[in-house]
Structure 1
Amino acid sequence: MKLGLHINRFRWDGGPERLGPTLAAMAHAAEAAGFDTIAVADHVWQHPILGGTEGPSFESYSTLAFLAAHTQRVNLVALATPVSYRYPGMLAKTVTTLDVLSEGRAWLGIGTGDYEEEARGLGLPFPPQRQRYDMLEETLQICLRMWSGESGDQQPDQGEHYQLARPRNLPQSLSRPHPPILIAGDGERRTLPLVARYADACSLRPTPELPRKLDVLRSYCEATGRDYDAIEKTSVFLFDPGEDGAKSDELIERLRWLAGMGITKVLAWVEGADRISPIEAMGRTVIPAVADL
């Protein structure tokens, strides 16, 4: 099992002037500890389950670019971009830029979005969910076409929701055939079929329903001729190893539980990560213990 640091909280000591240095220190510590990935929540307001609109929140792709400059090895992903927030041509260009400047470490993390209040608050589009699913598939197709190489940019892309006169993308991404795609969500009727057709990874909620959700995904893969094992199964979580690793055994057992249900990567906030020592504790006690799960 691989672990990733999911940065989705920014209420740290020191105020705004300390956010940059603290984030850089967290990135350095996470890479040194052996984390595989750093993920950043793609919200413009803090999510209600993490404190709501009064909490600080960063724009995700600016943050990922900052993290790219402060790391050398970890993968970088937004978890997850709401499809209606960014036009697909610009999204493909943004992820490509991150991939090139990070020397091939960018992923596209995408979903339909779930925070209508922030969208309305900042004037971002947030159409009905059914339309957002249609937009998601069209966006995935456009991104894949733009990543396919120069031969794919000679003809217009005339979809229902997006029209691109010439979907050119230069330079191309370093990740080939394209930056890996993670689709967030576990809806059985619309999301998991999209995972089977387009994704390199899924992101599922850590509930006892996981085995059944993965069985559904397997059935969609079989129906489309996709290799189920080629899709990385990820979940979100909370890591709390304690300042000195005192809670590591309990955390390791929870990760064994997730691995037993089929999860291969866990992306989670580390409680107290801004103090750095909990990240270091993860590297000493948890990451080595779960590497072979």
Structure 2
Amino acid sequence: MDIGLQIPDFTWPNGASMLGPELAAVARTADEAGFGYLAVMDHFFQISVVGPTENDMLEAYTTLGFLAAHSERAKLLTVISGVHYREPGLLAKAVTTLDVLSGGRAMLGIGAGWNEEESRGLGFPFPPLAERFERLEETVRYMLQMWSADDGPFAGKHYQADRLLNVPQALSRPHPPIMIGGGGERKTLRLVAQYAQACNLFNTPDLEHKLDVLRQHCDTVGRDYDEITKTVYQPLDPGANGEKTQQLIDELGRLHGLGVQVAIGSVPDVQQLDRLQRIGTDVIPVAAAF
């Protein structure tokens, strides 16, 4: 089982002037500790489950480029980009650029999006949910074409383009892996089965059921269920002094038993580095042996 770090909060004690060097240290430490993924949220306002709306929030793809420069091995992604935040051509160029400059470590994390407050606040369009799902499928098809040898036009219901030229191409082959986030049983998990290399689900009581639904969608579209990497959002807290380490290992073992291959989550007080180091020493080697 692999472990990934997601950084959802940038309101750190030393303030914005120290975010650069402190975030660089987090990236280096996590990479050296063996975290397989470095991820950020794709939000412009802080979300309520993390902190007050007015808390510090960095733009996702600029931040991922910074993390790429201070790491060597970990995959880089958002968990998860809302489809309505960027036109698909811009998103494809951003992920491709990240992939090229990181040596082939980019992933596309994408979903239908949800945070109406920040969209209205900053003036982003916020289409109805059904339209966002239409746009999600079109965006994935658009990006797959941009990552192919076909630089012809694209004609969809919501997106039209004359030439999907993408040079340089991504280094990842056949393209940066696509992670579709969310547990919607009729649409989201169907899109995972049809297009994605990874899913991202929450660690909820119905997780096993969600995986069963994904398997059913794979059967319907003729996809090998085992081809899809199953990732779960799981907070990673070994405790300030390691007192929660075994509890965390036990939970990761339970998730692995359900078929989960990657746990991605936040670490409390991540800028202090000691919990990252403890996870690297006491948790990651155990999880890798599951």
Q: Return the TM-score normalized by structure 2.
A: 0.98
- Which runs of 5 or more residues in structure 2 are unaligned? none
Q: Return the TM-score normalized by structure 1.
A: 0.97
Q: Please state how far the C-alpha of 1:262 moved relative to its aligned partner.
A: 1.8
Deviation per CA, 1:66-95: give whole Å up to 9, x if none.
001111111000111100110001111110
Specify the alignment match of 2:5 in structure 1. 5
Counterpart-to-counterpart distance in 1, 2:65 and 2:154 = 29
After superposition, the CA RMSD in angstroms is: 0.9
Moved more, 10-19 or 195-204: 10-19
Specify the alignment match of 2:65 in structure 1. 65
Q: Please state how far the C-alpha of 1:54 moved relative to its aligned partner.
A: 1.6
Q: How does 1:197-216 map to 2 (within 5 A)?
A: 197-216=194-213
Counterpart-to-counterpart distance in 2, 1:170 and 1:33 = 34
Specify the alignment match of 2:114 in structure 1. 114
2:256 to 247, 254, 259: 259
Q: How does 1:7-86 map to 2 (within 5 A)?
A: 7-86=7-86
Letter in 1 for 2:256: A
Percent identity over the alignment is 51
Counterpart-to-counterpart distance in 1, 2:264 and 2:258 = 16
Q: How does 1:274-289 map to 2 (within 5 A)?
A: 274-289=271-286
1:239 to 236, 243, 267: 236
Counterpart-to-counterpart distance in 1, 2:153 and 2:197 = 26
Counterpart-to-counterpart distance in 2, 1:140 and 1:74 = 23
Contact residue 5 and residue 38 of structure 1 kept, 8 A: yes
Counterpart-to-counterpart distance in 1, 2:21 and 2:35 = 19
Specify the alignment match of 1:157 in structure 2. 154
Counterpart-to-counterpart distance in 1, 2:73 and 2:51 = 31
Deviation per CA, 1:248-270: give whole Å up to 9, x if none.
11111111121122211011101
Q: Please state how far the C-alpha of 1:246 moved relative to its aligned partner.
A: 2.5
Moved more, 216-225 or 130-139: 216-225
Letter in 1 for 2:280: G
Q: Please state how far the C-alpha of 1:29 moved relative to its aligned partner.
A: 0.6
Q: Please state how far the C-alpha of 1:239 moved relative to its aligned partner.
A: 1.0
| Structure 2 residue 173 is the aligned partner of structure 1 residue 168 | no
Moved more, 52-61 or 240-249: 240-249
Contact residue 238 and residue 269 of structure 1 kept, 8 A: yes
Contact residue 244 and residue 277 of structure 1 kept, 8 A: no
Letter in 1 for 2:177: P
Counterpart-to-counterpart distance in 2, 1:205 and 1:96 = 27
Contact residue 242 and residue 281 of structure 1 kept, 8 A: no
Counterpart-to-counterpart distance in 2, 1:29 and 1:176 = 28
Q: Please state how far the C-alpha of 1:53 moved relative to its aligned partner.
A: 1.1
